[in-house]
Amino acid sequence: MDASEPEELFNLSDFESIDISITFENLTANTGVKDSMQTFGEINLEKFDSSAKIRVMEFLANGVCLDVPSKIASAGHSVRLVFDVMGVQLPFVFEAKGQVAEITQITPERDKFVIQFSEINSRYYDALKNLYADRQKQVEALLFQMKG
C-alpha cells in the first residue's frame, strides 16, 4: 500500500453474516411461509413483502424464538421448520418439528413465536448455535479492536 492510499479502518467482509433461510410449515392448518410466500398446502397464496423473512431471535435449549409474519399460526399448533444455512464454509440444511408454545405481538405485522422442539437433529442445531456464537465473538473482537 502506498502513502497516497488511505488506510482502511475496517474491511466490509468483517460484517458479512450467516445467511439462513427458514421455511415455516404449520402442520395443524396446512399453511406455511417459504421464500416470503404464504402457502396453503402446495398452493402459493400471497407474496409477503421482502421484510417478511423469518428470523432467529434467540436459541433455546430445546427450541427457538422466531420473528415471523403475524397470523401464520396459533399457540399449540404443530409446526415443521427447515433451516437452510448458507454464507458459511460448509452450508447445511436440517429440519425440526415442534409446537408453537407462545406468541407475542412485536408489531401489527410481526410476531415472536417460541417454538418448543419435539424432533430435531441436535448435531445440526448445535452447529447452527455455534456458528452464531462464533460470529458474536468475532464482532465483539472487532468492536474491541476499533475501540482501541
Evaluate whether residue 131 is within a structural domain: yes
Evaluate whether residue 6 is within a structural domain: no
Evaluate whether residue 139 is within a structural domain: yes
Alpha carbons 22 and 24: distance in angstroms, whole number: 6
Evaluate whether residue 12 is within a structural domain: no
DSSP SS3 for 122: helix
Cell numbers of 20, please? 439462513
How many domains does the chain contain in total?
A: 1
Evaluate whether residue 45 is within a structural domain: yes
Q: What is the pLDDT of residues 92-126, one digit of tens each?
A: 999 999 999 999 999 998 999 999 999 999 999 99
Strand order of the sheet with strand 110-120? 43-47, 37-40, 31-34, 19-26, 78-86, 92-107, 110-120, 63-69, 55-60
DSSP SS3 for 4: coil
**What is the per-residue pLDDT for 35?**
72
Evaluate whether residue 13 is within a structural domain: no
Looking at residue 51, which CATH number applies to its domain? 2.40.10.220
**Residue ranges of the chain whose pLDDT lies below 70:** 1-16, 36-52, 139, 148
Evaluate whether residue 69 is within a structural domain: yes
Domain that holds residue 108: 18-147
**What is the per-residue pLDDT for 12?**
46
**What is the per-residue pLDDT for 49?**
58
The pTM of the full predicted model, rounded to 2 decimals, is 0.78
**What is the per-residue pLDDT for 121?**
94
